[in-house]
Amino acid sequence: MIDPSLRDAPPAVLGTVYLVGAGPGDPGLLTLKGRDLLQTADVVVYDALVSEPILAMANPSAKLIDVGKRSGRHTLPQSETTRLLIDLAQDTAVIVRLKGGDPFVFGRGGEEMEDLVAAGVHVEVVPGVTSGIAAPAYSGIPLTHRAHSSSAIFVTGHEEGDKYRPSVDWQAIAKAAETIVIYMGVHTLPQIVPQLLAAGKDPATPIALIRWGTRPNSETLIATLETVVDRVQETGFSAPAIATIGTVVNLHRLHVHGTPVHFT
C-alpha cells in the first residue's frame, strides 16, 4: 500500500533510483549491470545483508548509507528509508538502492517502487540472485530433480502484523509443492513445523538450514522435521538462514561448494 505521506515530494526530480539485487553474498553472483551501477553511483543505500566485498565495488566517491534491518533492529524504519530515497532523487543523479538477494523476492522492493513512482521518482529494477535458490545450490541441494521433486514453493517465515492477510496457510503450503523454501524462518520453526506435520508431512522429511549461504562462513544444519527444532536449540543455530524442506536435501552430500560448517 502506498504511504500517503510520500506523495508530496517536490515535482522536479533529478535522479533515478536503481533497485539493485546484490545477490546472497558471493560477489561473483552480482550481475554485471549491478556492478556497473555500483561503480558509477553517487549514493548507495544498502541493507544489512549486503556483503562487504560487494560494497567494496562501489564508486570510491559514492556516499554509502546503511539502512539495514535485522531481527527487529531497524537502522531506519521503512517509511523513512523511502523518504530518504525520494529526497536524494531531488539533487542526486544515480542512487543505487542495494538490497540483499533480489529486490522483489521478500525484499520489500515492490513497496519501495510503489512509493517512489507515486512521488514522481524514476525507478529502474535490476534483478539479483535470490538466496532461496543460491544457498541450497551452493550446498549441493537442487530444488527440483526428476527423482525427487517437480515443484518448489517459496514462502516467508517472518510476517508483519499489518500484512494484507493475517498468516501463511502452512497446511496448504505443505501440500502445494514437493520442495519448500522458507526465508527468515529460523526463529519461527517451532510454530511452522507442527503445522506442516499436521498437514501430513512425514516427520522424517529432511530439512536443511543454510546460514550465510554462498559466503565463506556458510553453515548448514541438516535435520528432519521431527528433530529440527531441537537441533536448532542444541547447536545455537541462528538467522539469517534459508530453510529447504524435501527429499532433495538428501543430495547435499554429493557436492558441497567451498568448505561450509555442517551440523548433522
Region 3-24 average pLDDT: 76
Q: Write down the catalytic residue from 47, 99, 102, 113.
A: 47
- Given a contact cutoff of 8 angstroms between Cβ atoms, the answer to whether 230 and 203 are in contact is no
Strand segments (E) across 73-168? 73-74, 94-99, 122-126, 152-156
Give the residue numbers spanning the domain of 194.
Answer: 132-263
Q: Are residues 27 and 87 in the same domain?
A: yes
Q: Which of 85, 110, 129 represents a domain boundary (last residue)?
A: 129
Whether residue 30 sits in one domain with residue 11: yes
Do 249 and 238 share a domain, yes or no? yes
Q: Do residues 192 and 203 both lie within one domain? A: yes
Last residue of a domain, one of 129, 152, 168: 129
**Which of 3, 57, 63, 69 is labelled catalytic?**
69
252, pLDDT greater than 50 = yes
Question: Does 175 participate in catalysis according to the annotation?
Answer: no
Span 99-158, pLDDT tens digits: 999 999 998 999 999 999 999 999 999 999 999 999 999 999 999 999 999 999 999 998
Say yes or no: 79 and 175 in one domain: no
Asked if residue 209 and residue 86 are part of one domain, the reply reads no
Residues 16 and 114 in one domain: yes
184 is catalytic: yes
Q: Let me know whether 159 and 195 are in one domain.
A: yes
| Strand pairing class (206-211; 261-263) | unpaired
Which of 26, 99, 113, 184 is flagged as catalytic?
184
pLDDT band, very low/low/confident/very high, at 162 (cuts 50, 70, 90): very low
Q: Which three cell numbers stand for residue 233?
A: 536449540
3 state SS for 13-46? CCCEEEEEECECCCHHHCCHHHHHHHHHCCEEEE
Is the domain of 110 the same as that of 197? no
Question: At 167, is the pLDDT very low, low, confident or very high (cuts 50, 70, 90)?
Answer: confident
User: Which domain CATH number covers 199?
Assistant: 3.30.950.10
90 and 56 share one domain: yes
The tens digit of pLDDT for each residue in 219-244 reads 999 999 999 999 999 999 999 999 99
251 and 174 housed in the same domain: yes
Number of domains in the chain: 2
Sign of the dihedral defined by the CA atoms of residues 242, 246, 214, 63, in that order: negative
Q: Is 57 a catalytic residue?
A: no
Average pLDDT score, the chain: 89
- What is the structure's pLDDT at 78? 86
- Same structural domain for residues 144 and 124? no
